[in-house]
Chain A
Amino acid sequence: MRKLTTATAVAFGILAMGAGAVSAEKLTIGLASEPTSLDPHFHNLGPNNAMSVHIFDRLIAQDEKQRLSPGLAISWQPIDDLTWEFKLREGVKFHDGSDFTADDVVCTMARAPDVPNSPSGYGTYLKGKEVIKIDDYTVHFKTAAPYPLMGNDISTIPVISEIGCNAATEDFNAGTAAIGTGPFKFQSYTPGESIVLVRNDDYWGDAPIWSEVEFRPITSGPSRVASLLAGDVDMISGVPTTDITTLKGNGDIQLSQGVSNRVIYLHMDQFREDSPFVKANGGGDIKNPLMDVRVRKAISMAISRDAIVDRVMEGVALPAGQLLPEGFFGVSDKLDVVAYDPDGAKALLAEAGYPDGFELTIHGPNDRYINDAKIAEAIAQMLTRIGIKTAVETMPRSVYFGRASKGSPEGLPEFSFILVGWGAGSGEASSPLKSLIHTFDADAGFGSSNRGRHSDPETDALIEEALRTVDDAKRQDLLAQATERAIENVAIIPTHFQVNTWAAKKGLSYIARTDEYTLATGVVKE
């Protein structure tokens, strides 16, 4: 019997090798979420950006840890307080054979913020920046005030050719304008069905090992896993946490995991004396206890991050003590994960004047983050244990975010205590600090996602100073300080960092990326 099994295994192995030799260069990837367009400036959305990286280079590339590295620009540095000089790579050709020059950069920067019908464009990153061509391989970006994040902002903008600059979104989707300098060229695009790319043999960088890549959107998690098991696809993104244990035991499947830039955290109403979902025991009105830092600290101490990671996330997450995992620019090395201490939490609550706790409702989405509804339930149980009787209400993200941002009758955040996540697109700490921690200020564009309306002038000052400081070492320091102060004040309660999982057939592995992108260039043979 054993002999037979071995023989079969060998036979299968030979078959597999035979098949491999013929189709080894072709890669098929099952995607959890589909890009909405191949126009790289149409929709500033993770799946779109990931897809456009294949076809279009940026002036500055982000590696798998979102560190900046030279792309179409070989150097970028401030030459005075208000000017950044970008030196462009020479000898780079677009897929249609035309040369890449400063003119392409200028027209790219003009088109990116201004695409008709775009649901969400790239204007956010180009605001207040003026592009000037100096010569064919030098451009200057001018700003009205010193601006240190130039590299991060510019690394988000895909560079298109002059043909693309005059083209409409449909032309990109049809492929006629999808001409970049990237490692892959457009082959075909059928929305909902497949995107096929072929290798760019004239690529200026390391040529990809795959001659052809097909991306197939398979949004249903179990079907995606089944497609991989059936051999329809070679790799999938977004492996459901419930399938990870089973797949780990499967010798034909190789899992790749990596922490993401996404922190899951809790925002607490810190601006209303009378908060709609905070009640005294028994349901009476109460002065909002969440405004007291001791109460917020008690809540943070009552949450066992380890339990969330082990039980709810099945080990596929990292406990969080600040806004970004270690290794990112601007994180503090002084902050540890808040230790689970229910007795200390109770004592703090008593000290703040709530020995018997109060009543609270936690609101969260149920289809946005990995296991989001289960996390909200776990947190509610932990808080109930220290006397804060917590009810849970979760809803689809299409309803949730609108209400959480401005659902109250006055157009203010509707909820008192919410579960949210934040992915730092720029790959450094100013992104969450600016949007989540800084005082809400619509005119200056600060605190746009500060749904708890935490406000601390000193933290604000640190953040603003960091955003003016071009010197990297000094800025790193300021961002770390701002983070420390925000965590000290419990502006938000970070719970964990998401870990993403990719699964591939045996012999392939994926270089996990913090930005959650699925890139064919990251799929390597072992």
Chain B
Amino acid sequence: MTVFIIRRLLQALLVVFMMSVIVFFGVNIVGDPVYMLVSPDADQADIEAAISRLGLDRPILEQYWLFLKGAAQGDLGNSFIFGEPALKLILHHMPATMELAFSALFLAIVIGIPLGLYAGLYPDGMLSKGIMAASIFGFSLPTFWVGLMLIMLFAVELQWVPATGRGDIGSFLGIQSSIFTLDGLSHIFLPALNLALLKISLAIRLTRAGVREAMGLDYVKYARAKGLSTRRIILVHVMKNIMIPVVTVMGLEFGSLIGFSVVTETIFAWPGMGKLLIDAILQLDRPVVVAYLMIIVLFFVLINLIVDILYSILDPRVRLQDQGA
């Protein structure tokens, strides 16, 4: 297992390096950040000075070499706009995104799996059909639209929760997060729900399909014959088996939760990484865009690794080894 993990980490490094090439050159051939930064009152000499201060007068290959040299020492460059290290900015905004993504994942699991289980056990019930129909909406309605509708309904019309922003920060077991205060929870509810909708639908469909398949299998029949209670059959035996695809998909989807949070964070003015990225793209803050993408790549690689490890725990038949090795 150790060899497996080390090898996977080395592969990850290669992926990250290749991404750095694509991202760096991709971002650096688009647009001209200087005109986004300088005041309109600046004259030609001021503009030239800004160009050379940002190092944009150097050949692109040299810029990339400097970036690599910095990256090797953990320095992904300074934000053009904030003048601070891009990595520091992203790490500063990361907790907000993480708590949003975890809250959304939590909602997806506690709402999606029970509903999916119900729909799988009683596929012909009216309620099950309703759940499945609703899940189609969850898949197909665009996030930004649903987000605005949620705000209009819960914040403007009903005035139950605030429309935008992040609430007070609380502390629990040394972790600082807004989900530990009431004010924070009322703020995070809408964005988390908005972000979770797609994943809830996904969890419903995965669980339902798994349950329907498992219920007809031999081991369930044997368990029944053995006299186990329905409750035990479903909650222990069936659940354990259908959890494998659910965990895999949800794990991978966690990455996309962080990615999709860009839209949700913009609508709900949530001060996370996604909003930072959108602002950086609009203002052509290249170092932040590059650093963000590098971090996201790292994330996906790590999540994949964790999913693989979880897999082996859930299903002992799966051995952690490379194919063909």
Contacts and interface: CB of A to CB of B under 8 A. Distances in A.
* Binding between chains A and B: yes
Interface of A: 30, 36-37, 42-45, 116-120, 123-125, 169-170, 190-194, 216-220, 222-224, 226-227, 229-232, 367, 396-399, 401-403, 405, 422-423, 425-426, 431, 435, 442, 445-446, 448-449
Nearest to B266: A220
Contacts of B36: 397-398, 401
B58 interface: no
B152 interface: yes
A119 B44 contact: no
B164 A218 contact: yes
Contacts of A398: 30-33, 36, 281-284
A423 B155 contact: no
B174 interface: no
A204 to B, nearest CB: 29
Nearest to B93: A192
24 contacts: A119-B38, A119-B81, A120-B39, A120-B42, A124-B41, A190-B271, A192-B96, A192-B275, A216-B269, A226-B152, A227-B269, A232-B165, A396-B31, A398-B32, A398-B282, A401-B36, A405-B32, A425-B39, A425-B40, A431-B41, A435-B43, A442-B45, A448-B47, A449-B40
B34 interface: yes
A192 B266 CA distance: 11
Contacts of B82: 36-37, 191
A445 B121 CA distance: 77
B83 to A, nearest CB: 3
B83 A119 contact: yes
Contacts of A194: 165
Contacts of A43: 37, 81
A423 B40 contact: yes
Contacts of A30: 164
Q: Name, among A116, A194, A445, A448, the residue most crowded by chain B CB atoms within 10 Å (CB to CB).
A: A448
B176 interface: no
Interface residues of B, number: 52
A230 B31 contact: no
B75 to A, nearest CB: 14
Nearest to B273: A192
A405 B162 CA distance: 43
B151 A223 contact: yes
A352 B154 CA distance: 62
Contacts of B93: 192
Given A193-B165, A449-B40, A223 B83 contact: no
Contacts of B268: 223
B155 to A, nearest CB: 4
Given A37-B83, A44-B39, A192-B276, A401 B46 contact: no
Given A44-B39, A448-B44, A226 B163 contact: yes
Contact of B43 (A124, A229, A396, A422): A124
Given A403-B32, A448-B43, 4 more contacts: A44-B39, A116-B83, A170-B84, A401-B32
A45 B279 contact: no
Interface in B243-273: 266-269, 271-272
A223 B45 contact: no
Contacts of B37: 43, 119-120
Contacts of B47: 448
A2 B46 CA distance: 66
Given A169-B83, A192-B276, A230-B151, A445 B45 contact: yes
B129 interface: no
Contacts of A230: 151, 155-156, 159, 162-163
A253 to B, nearest CB: 12
Contacts of B42: 44, 120, 124, 448
Interface string B126-165: 0000000000000000000000100110011001001111
Contacts of B319: none
Contacts of A449: 40
The 9 closest A-B pairs by CB, nearest first: A402-B32, A445-B43, A192-B271, A117-B83, A401-B35, A442-B44, A230-B155, A119-B37, A398-B284
B80 interface: yes
Contacts of B163: 223, 226-227, 229-230, 232
Contacts of A399: 30-32
Given A119-B80, A445-B45, A232 B164 contact: yes
B39 A227 contact: no
A154 B65 CA distance: 42
A432 B281 CA distance: 29
B92 interface: yes
Given A232-B163, A398-B31, A398-B33, A193 B271 contact: yes
A219 B41 contact: no
A218 B187 CA distance: 14
A423 B41 CA distance: 9
Q: Name, among A124, A216, A398, the residue most crowded by chain B CB atoms within 10 Å (CB to CB).
A: A398
Contacts of A219: 266, 269, 275, 279
A124 B162 contact: no
